[in-house]
A and B are shown apart, each in its own frame.
Chain A
Amino acid sequence: MTTPTKPPLKKSSNPLPNRDRYKLPRQHMPEQLPEQRATRFTEVNLGYSTELARQEALRCLECAKPTCTDNCPVGVKVREFVQLIVDGDFLGAAAKIREDNVLPAITGRVCPQEDHCEGGCLLCKKGESLGIGYLERFVADYEQQHMDKNKILKAPPTGKKVAIVGSGPSGLTAAGDLVQRGHEVHVFEALHEIGGVLVYGIPEFRLPKNIIREQVDYMRAMGVRFENDVVVGRTVTINELLEEEGYDAVFIGTGAGAPQFMGIPGEHLNGVYSANEFLTRINLMHAYEFPNFDEPILDFRGKPVAVIGGGNTALDAIRSALRLGAGHASVLYRRSEAEMPARKEEVKHAREEGIDFQMLTAPVEFLSDGNGWLRSARCVRMELGESDASGRRRPVPIAGSDFEMPLAVAIIAIGTSANPIIQTTTPGLNTNKRGYIQADESTQRTSRKGVFAGGDIVTGSATVILAMGAGRRAARSIHEYLVTGAW
């Protein structure tokens, strides 16, 4: 038996010595002007040209131990794909990314790169990190425009059948990885569009729907089958999938599910939305195109609107509100900007567009106009106290700091809790005390034989790329289970 040896590092065609690479500035991502984009839903970032991409790729130090890859939840081989960009082999670069990431056009747009690949980049030490996300987006878009889908190779069939529940980032990743190993993969989706949170949660200006459709079409070409309008747990149960429909394994990737409310007075007033509802109306249902689409949204024009929360969802919501014509759009966050979980680029973009950031502020009551409509929020200012369980400093209300903020619409984006539909209809599936499905951190196995789970339904709200990492690990262990039969 031969021991597998690591392939030797490929020699790069990058002509620059390392010291010169440090001197190159990070190539700016072309974007729509703030005053233009704040009134429409088209994508903010416009993408690198071929020239910009090659310029940026030249900055890569080609580290022998690439921390970028180590920091990536799906382990994208950054150095290799960037070298291929330097070589001008963009389709090769795309194929290299696809070895580890089946949704590059999506992660290239929405991943918090500063927390993963770019956060580990050695260029950070002397300046700005390599624009890995921008490069990933570039090759993914290039691939979409230039590749022939008929040439997508299908793996020889194994005869095993896997059901994927939910078509969000974890489900799509698991589906892509499993179909590449020759398994028959069927994805069940409750909504009428494929993509889960990518479709209902993330707005067009950050992740255009046609990008998701293209990535999903690519997966169809790989052999993945999708079935919409199936709420697993209601339309069909996990047991029925395993026992009656002949699936050998099931992956549950149903997402975080239920929106949390604050439990303060007035949350039922007309004009108070959960971020999930507001974004679903905008993104999935195209309410911003009313009356060309039938789903309505309240009239935001000229009105004061606030979002409560500091994550990407909060920023997606308030920037959507601005695009609906809100007269004043603010973010109310109970901690300070340093604790905001949103991607840095989104905060920057939001600020450029004129979003008002009210840090260390929280509503304590929503007030009615007397007819059941939101008129204002009574808010308090906060200060930061001791660190809490999340390691962040706990916000403490400042006594006597109450003030009233006029608001026509308030959007609550403070997180989600576990949707119980699958847990309550699947006997023997263990959950934790918050209702999330228990799954092994490395194998994503649940307490039920043949049933795997990953993404937000296991961890609670996290990011697209972390969910994809879970889908990836699940696919690996599902494959192992299907091949060995061992549980």
Chain B
Amino acid sequence: MFKILDAQFIAPNIKRFVIQAPRIARKHQPGQFVIVRLYEQGERIPLTIERSRPEQGTINIVVQSVGKTTHLLNSLQAGDSILDVVGPLGKPSEIVNFGTVVIMGGGVGTAMAYPTAAALKRAGNRVISIVGGRSKDLVILEPEMREVSDALMITTDDGSYADKGLVTDKLRQLIENGTLIDLVLAVGPIPMMRAVAEMTRKENIRTIVSLNSIMIDGTGMCGGCRVLVDGHSEFACVDGPEFDAHRVDFDVLIQRNSMYRAAEKSSMEAFQRDPSVSVEQVHREQEKACLAEGVGR
């Protein structure tokens, strides 16, 4: 059981949780993630670690409501608990002084990019960040990103905030202005990461993307998260989640991520008919787990 110490929406449908997880907080490095399971009947899903505070024994996770599990999680509050939080998983980001790096965060992906951006800044890089969202509400972590960036650019698809357009428009401007870029890190929706990859491939700019494939155990045991990289299978959970964007087959990633669409849809519909049923189930399971923990789970 992992206690939620704080939970705040930072955008509509995007919530930041502060979770007591001392072991994970102590070991977390930028680029890594956790897998959570909310209750006994719950599925296991990978989630972003936005920040860790080893001295306080806490990690922050940032969650966007997409399907049943994330909606359910985002209905939990401070004082609630999460049954299982496992991590930190995946290979950490490579943190060296590359020179000039461009960090691109799309929507909730910004939360995954943020700790890497901060570490790259500390390592002496010149950090140019481009953060985007569909609309004003979905631009997240602006102050945090500003703090770790030498320059920060913001876009919204609908122009409701900052510059109208896509994050890739800003990247194109940088390239066209002759900015020498040593590395691009892009984390966001798959179409965005693919567009970045196509743009930088022509320019021969090394580009890293963080992939969000479907996972179960997160330790390399099941192979469900396999992605096609340079024509062969790699596991996003242990070989990634970061990969060289120019070698990733994004079509296969999209196809594999759609594998359970029918089940996800029916789960979500059942959940939405009466969310309180599922929330109560989580609370009941928590009470049971608390009792069991008394005698050592």
Seen from chain A, the residues whose Cβ lies within 8 Å of a Cβ on chain B are 190-192, 200, 220, 225-226, 228-231, 234-236, 255, 257-259, 261, 263, 267-268, 270, 273-274, 276-277, 280-281, 284-286, 290-299, 371-372, 419-421
CA of A200 to CA of B219, assembled, Å: 13
B264 touches A296 (CB 8 A): yes
Classify the secondary structure of B's interface with A: mixed
Stretch at the interface among B78-86, B162-170, B182-190: B78-86
In the complex, which residues of chain B have a beta carbon less than 8 angstroms from the beta carbon of A291?
A: 263, 266-267, 270
User: What distance in Å separates the Cβ of B260 from its nearest Cβ neighbour in chain A?
Assistant: 4
In the complex, which residues of chain A have a beta carbon less than 8 angstroms from the beta carbon of B151?
A: none
B255 interface residue (CB < 8 Å to A): yes
A-facing residues in B170-226 (Cβ within 8 Å): 216-224, 226
In the complex, which residues of chain A have a beta carbon less than 8 angstroms from the beta carbon of B85?
A: 229
User: What distance in Å separates the Cβ of B104 from its nearest Cβ neighbour in chain A?
Assistant: 26
A286-B89 contact given A270-B259, A280-B222, A372-B255, CB 8 Å threshold: no
In the complex, which residues of chain B have a beta carbon less than 8 angstroms from the beta carbon of A276?
A: 221-223
CA of A255 to CA of B255, assembled, Å: 31
Instruction: Name the one of B23, B216, B297 contacting A277, with C-beta atoms under 8 angstroms.
Output: B216
CA of A276 to CA of B252, assembled, Å: 21
A235-B262 contact given A225-B296, A276-B223, A277-B222, CB 8 Å threshold: no
Instruction: Name the one of B84, B238, B249 contacting A228, with C-beta atoms under 8 angstroms.
Output: B84
CA of A297 to CA of B296, assembled, Å: 32
User: What distance in Å separates the Cβ of B67 from its nearest Cβ neighbour in chain A?
Assistant: 9
In the complex, which residues of chain B have a beta carbon less than 8 angstroms from the beta carbon of A284?
A: 216
In the complex, which residues of chain A have a beta carbon less than 8 angstroms from the beta carbon of B224?
A: 273-274, 277
Residue on A nearest B26 in the bound complex, by CB: A236
Knowing that A235-B23, A274-B222, A285-B216 touch, tell me 10 more A-B residue pairs with CB under 8 angstroms. A190-B217, A192-B86, A234-B27, A235-B87, A267-B233, A268-B256, A372-B251, A372-B258, A419-B220, A419-B221
In the complex, which residues of chain A have a beta carbon less than 8 angstroms from the beta carbon of B226?
A: 261, 268
User: What distance in Å separates the Cβ of B145 from its nearest Cβ neighbour in chain A?
Assistant: 27
In the complex, which residues of chain B have a beta carbon less than 8 angstroms from the beta carbon of A372?
A: 251-252, 255-256, 258
B263 touches A290 (CB 8 A): yes
Stretch at the interface among B36-44, B93-101, B119-127: B36-44
Instruction: Name the one of A255, A298, A419 contacting B259, with C-beta atoms under 8 angstroms.
Output: A298
B106 interface residue (CB < 8 Å to A): no
> 3 shortest A-B CB distances, which residue pairs?
A296-B263, A372-B255, A277-B222
Residue on A nearest B233 in the bound complex, by CB: A261
In the complex, which residues of chain B have a beta carbon less than 8 angstroms from the beta carbon of A226?
A: 296-297
Q: Mark B253-296, 1 if CB is under 8 A from A, else 0.
A: 00110111011101100100000000000000000000000001
A277-B223 contact given A229-B85, A299-B262, CB 8 Å threshold: yes
CA of A277 to CA of B68, assembled, Å: 21
Residue on B nearest A372 in the bound complex, by CB: B255
A419 touches B260 (CB 8 A): no
In the complex, which residues of chain B have a beta carbon less than 8 angstroms from the beta carbon of A255?
A: 221
In the complex, which residues of chain A have a beta carbon less than 8 angstroms from the beta carbon of B24?
A: 235
B11 interface residue (CB < 8 Å to A): no
B5 interface residue (CB < 8 Å to A): no
B267 touches A259 (CB 8 A): no
CA of A294 to CA of B42, assembled, Å: 5
A231 touches B296 (CB 8 A): no
A294 touches B267 (CB 8 A): yes
In the complex, which residues of chain B have a beta carbon less than 8 angstroms from the beta carbon of A236?
A: 23, 27
Q: What would 8 A/B residue contacts be, using CB atoms closer than 8 Å? A: A228-B84, A230-B23, A267-B233, A268-B252, A276-B222, A296-B264, A299-B262, A421-B220
B228 interface residue (CB < 8 Å to A): yes
CA of A147 to CA of B44, assembled, Å: 36
A-facing residues in B27-48 (Cβ within 8 Å): 27, 37, 41-44
Residue on A nearest B24 in the bound complex, by CB: A235
User: What distance in Å separates the Cβ of B222 from its nearest Cβ neighbour in chain A?
Assistant: 4
B41 touches A259 (CB 8 A): no
A192 touches B41 (CB 8 A): no
User: What distance in Å separates the Cβ of B127 from its nearest Cβ neighbour in chain A?
Assistant: 27
In the complex, which residues of chain B have a beta carbon less than 8 angstroms from the beta carbon of A298?
A: 259-260
User: What distance in Å separates the Cβ of B74 from its nearest Cβ neighbour in chain A?
Assistant: 15
User: What distance in Å separates the Cβ of B288 from its nearest Cβ neighbour in chain A?
Assistant: 14
User: What distance in Å separates the Cβ of A229 from its nearest Cβ neighbour in chain B?
Assistant: 5
A235-B270 contact given A268-B256, A276-B222, CB 8 Å threshold: no
A258 touches B221 (CB 8 A): yes
A280 touches B216 (CB 8 A): yes
Instruction: Name the one of B27, B68, B228 contacting A268, with C-beta atoms under 8 angstroms.
Output: B228
In the complex, which residues of chain A have a beta carbon less than 8 angstroms from the beta carbon of B270?
A: 291
In the complex, which residues of chain A have a beta carbon less than 8 angstroms from the beta carbon of B260?
A: 296, 298
CA of A421 to CA of B83, assembled, Å: 24
B69 touches A294 (CB 8 A): yes
CA of A371 to CA of B256, assembled, Å: 11
CA of A420 to CA of B238, assembled, Å: 9
B240 interface residue (CB < 8 Å to A): no
A421 touches B23 (CB 8 A): no
B88 interface residue (CB < 8 Å to A): yes
Chain B CB within 10 Å, residue with most, of A231, A259, A276: A231
In the complex, which residues of chain A have a beta carbon less than 8 angstroms from the beta carbon of B262?
A: 299
User: What distance in Å separates the Cβ of B41 from its nearest Cβ neighbour in chain A?
Assistant: 5
Residue on A nearest B72 in the bound complex, by CB: A294
User: What distance in Å separates the Cβ of A136 from its nearest Cβ neighbour in chain B?
Assistant: 28
CA of A420 to CA of B221, assembled, Å: 11
Instruction: Name the one of A220, A234, A258, A280 contacting B88, with C-beta atoms under 8 angstroms.
Output: A234
A261-B216 contact given A270-B256, A294-B43, CB 8 Å threshold: no
A285 touches B87 (CB 8 A): no
Instruction: Name the one of B43, B68, B221, B259 contacting A257, with C-beta atoms under 8 angstroms.
Output: B221
Instruction: Name the one of A235, A263, A270, A273 contacting B27, with C-beta atoms under 8 angstroms.
Output: A235
CA of A297 to CA of B259, assembled, Å: 9
CA of A421 to CA of B90, assembled, Å: 10
In the complex, which residues of chain B have a beta carbon less than 8 angstroms from the beta carbon of A190?
A: 86, 217, 219
A285 touches B44 (CB 8 A): yes
CA of A190 to CA of B44, assembled, Å: 13
Instruction: Name the one of A220, A261, A280, A297 contacting B217, with C-beta atoms under 8 angstroms.
Output: A280
Residue on A nearest B278 in the bound complex, by CB: A294
User: What distance in Å separates the Cβ of A412 from its nearest Cβ neighbour in chain B?
Assistant: 9
A293 touches B41 (CB 8 A): yes
User: What distance in Å separates the Cβ of B258 from its nearest Cβ neighbour in chain A?
Assistant: 7
User: What distance in Å separates the Cβ of B66 from its nearest Cβ neighbour in chain A?
Assistant: 13
A274 touches B223 (CB 8 A): yes
B219 touches A259 (CB 8 A): no
Q: Mark B97-122, 1 if CB is under 8 A from A, else 0.
A: 00000000000000000000000000
Q: Mark B5-19, 1 if CB is under 8 A from A, else 0.
A: 000000000000000
User: What distance in Å separates the Cβ of B39 from its nearest Cβ neighbour in chain A?
Assistant: 9
CA of A281 to CA of B221, assembled, Å: 12
B223 touches A259 (CB 8 A): yes
In the complex, which residues of chain A have a beta carbon less than 8 angstroms from the beta carbon of B37?
A: 192
